[in-house]
Structures are given as structure tokens and as C-alpha cells.
Amino acid sequence: MVYAIFITGTAGSGKSLLTSRLIQWYQDNGAFPASLNLDPGAASLPYNPDIDVRQYIDISTLMENFGLGPNGALVMASDMIATRLDEIQQQVDEINPDYLIVDTPGQIELFAFRASGPYFVSNLQADNKAVLFAFDAMLVSSPINFVSISLLASSVKLRLKCPQVNVLTKRDLVPDKLKDIMGWAGSNQTLEAALNEEKESEYSLLSKDLARSLTRAGFAPGLVAVSSTTMAGQVNLAAALARTLNLGED
Ligand SMILES: Nc1nc2c(ncn2[C@@H]2O[C@H](COP(=O)(O)OP(=O)(O)OP(=O)(O)O)[C@@H](O)[C@H]2O)c(=O)[nH]1
Ligand SMILES: [Mg+2]
């Protein structure tokens, strides 16, 4: 059985470090994980990828051959990910891991909102798949910001169409805010009460409507809070992933 976990989130939200921590966690618990780096623009990674899209797609070659700037090359590189599915699939099959942890490109819009990322996610062969979406703790310190990132998480779910585990990353950086953020994630009532306190009433009204719609449609985020620095929350995250991948409680 191969379980694929796609690590998504905003730029700098801690995807790559979390990938390395998950690999370590599964190894420590007697499973056989493998890492797949799908970020063609990654300059350096905090882990040694078992499979690496940079083997097939090279940003500097694209810049030279097509006269592109760094951003144009990154867009082109992201669009090319799907064209390498067969080779990557072959590598996955050869390794045959229990868990394939897939680190995705820094810019979420290049992966989730263009055609290549969703194509890759739906066509990679695995017995079960889950998407992890990282809520960067530094970006959700106010209730309005929390709603805006929840919307982004929902957009990713609409695009990738996979069961999703929402994760608050870098919890060690927001010791004073952690309880509030988890409260907003856990109860729409708590979130609405916090939004009522906001001064910008038009934004607070819109945020309340959006939050209510997400809750009604079953898109309310629900969050597991982790830190890749202190390792807090790792066990909860593994349990949430296991539930989502239909493995039952570990
Ligand atoms: N304090 C703290 N820092 C973290 C944590 N997770 C990641 N970081 C730091 O945040 C920065 C970005 O982490 P990455 O893992 O590279 O994030 P990413 O989402 O892969 O970034 P891109 O691929 O460039 O979009 C690095 O400096 C990490 O060391 C965490 O849990 N706590
Ligand atoms: Mg990264």
C-alpha cells in the first residue's frame, strides 16, 4: 500500500521542513516513507529527496533556452511537472514506500491553480491520497486573516479534490495567540465573536458571511497545530493523517 501525502501551503509556510519532519516521524515509527520534491525552484531543501523533479526540470536551463526571467521560468517549470508524471511514477513504484511525502512548489498558485498540479495529484497512482494544507501561524494572527487563509485552503481543496488535513505550522512562534487561533478553527461561534470585535466592520461582515458559508458547506478548516522546531503536535498530526487516509487510529 502506498499512501501519498501532498504538502501544500503559502510560500514559506514551512512545507519543506514539515516534509523532512514527517519522513523522520514515519521512520522512527517503523514505517517506510519516501520523499518526493515537486518544487523545481527549490534552491536548497532541509532533506535529501528520494525523488526530485529538479532531476527533470532545470530552472536555469529554461531561462537560457527560452529567454525567460526567473518568474517566467518558474511558471513554465511548474506547468511542466505533469509531463514528468510517468518517470516519477516509475521511481515511486521502484521504491514502493508506505508513505510518499510530496513537497510542492513554494508558490501555491503555480501548483494548485494551474493545470499541472491538479493533474499530477489526480493521476499519481497511490492507494490513498491526502492533501495537507499549511496555515502559517504568522499569517493568521487576526480573525479576518484567519478567514482569508481558510478561503485559500478551501480553494486548494476545490482544485485538488482530495481529503484535506489543515495544519497550523510554526505554532512555537505564536505562544500568546495559539489558543485564540485554535478557538477560531474549532468553533464558528468563537470565530464570529472575534470578528464582531474587529474595527473594520465591512470586512468583518464579509468575513462572517464567508466563515458561515465554509462551515455550512463542510469546509470549516479544523486545525492541527504543529511546530517543526519543537515537534509539538507531531503525534496529533500523524493521527489526523491516519484518519484521513482511512488507516484508523495508529
Ligand atoms: N520557528 C519555526 N520556524 C519554522 C517552522 N517551520 C518552518 N520554519 C522556518 O520557516 C522558513 C520556511 O520554511 P520552509 O520549510 O522552507 O517553508 P516552505 O513552505 O517549504 O517554503 P517555500 O518552499 O520557499 O515556499 C524556514 O526558515 C524554516 O526554518 C516552525 O515550525 N517553527
Ligand atoms: Mg519549500
Tens digits of residue pLDDT in 209-232: 999 999 988 888 889 999 999 999
Ligand 1 contacts CB of residue 172 (under 6 A): yes
| Confidence (pLDDT) at 163 | 95
| Residues 120-137 pLDDT 10s | 999 999 999 999 999 999
233 lines ligand 1 (CB under 6 A): no
Residue 138: CB atoms within 10 A of its CB come to 16
Looking at the CA of residue 19, tell me the nearest atom of ligand 1: 15
Q: Identify whether 95 is part of a domain.
A: yes
Atom 8 of ligand 1, nearest CA residue? 14
What is the chain's mean pLDDT, rounded?
A: 95
**Is residue 128 included in any domain, yes or no?**
yes
Please check whether residue 99 lies inside any domain of the structure.
Answer: yes
Q: What is the CATH number of the domain that holds 51?
A: 3.40.50.300
* C-alpha dist (Å) from residue 146 to 44, 188, 223: 29, 12, 11
Q: Please tell me the predicted confidence (pLDDT) of residue 221.
A: 80
Contact by Cβ (8 Å): 132, 3: no
Instruction: Tell me how far the alpha carbon of residue 196 lies from the centroid of ligand 2, in angstroms.
Output: 36
Q: How many CB atoms are located within 10 Å of the residue 98 CB?
A: 14
Number of domains forming the structure of the chain:
1
Residue 250 within any structural domain of the chain: no
What would the grid cell of residue 179 be? Answer: 489558543
C-alpha cell at 231: 515537534
Report which ligand 1 atom has the smallest distance to the Cα of 173: 1
Q: Is residue 7 part of a domain?
A: yes
Residue 14 lies in a domain: yes
Judged against a pLDDT cut of 80, whether residue 249 lies above it is answered with no
Q: What is the pLDDT of residue 247?
A: 64
Range of the domain at 83: 3-244
Answer yes or no: is the C-beta of 149 below 6 A from any ligand 1 atom: no
Longest dimension (CA), the chain: 56
Q: How far is CA 244 from CA 191, 219, 249, in A?
A: 25, 15, 10
Q: Which ligand 1 atom lies nearest to the CA of residue 18?
A: 15
**The three three-digit cell numbers of residue 233, written as one number:** 503536535
- Write down the pTM of the prediction: 0.96
Burial class of residue 245 (count of CB atoms within 10 Å of its CB; 0-12, 13-18, 19+): buried
What's the confidence (pLDDT) of residue 248? Answer: 44
Domain annotation covers residue 19: yes
For residue 177, report the distance from its CA to the centre of ligand 1, in Å: 19
CA distance 204 to 43: 39
Ligand 1 in reach of 10 Cβ (< 6 A) = no
Pocket test for ligand 1, best of 7, 8, 17 (most atoms within 8 A of CB): 17
Residue 249: inside a domain: no
Ligand 1 within 6 A of CB of 169:
yes
Residues 6+ apart with CB under 8 A from 11: 106, 107, 108
pLDDT score, position 250: 37
In this prediction, residue 220 carries a pLDDT of 84
Bridge-based pairing of strands 99-103 and 51-52 is unpaired
The cell numbers describing 139, all together, are 499569517
State the pLDDT at residue 217. Answer: 86
26-79 residue pLDDT tens: 999 999 999 999 999 999 999 999 999 999 999 999 999 999 999 999 999 999
182/187 Cα distance (integer angstroms): 9
Question: Which ligand places an atom closest to the C-alpha of 37?
Answer: 2
What three-state secondary structure class fits 7?
strand
Query: Which ligand has the nearest atom to the CA of 17?
Result: 1
Q: In what order do the strands lie in the sheet with 99-103?
A: 51-52, 33-37, 99-103, 3-9, 128-136, 164-169, 224-225
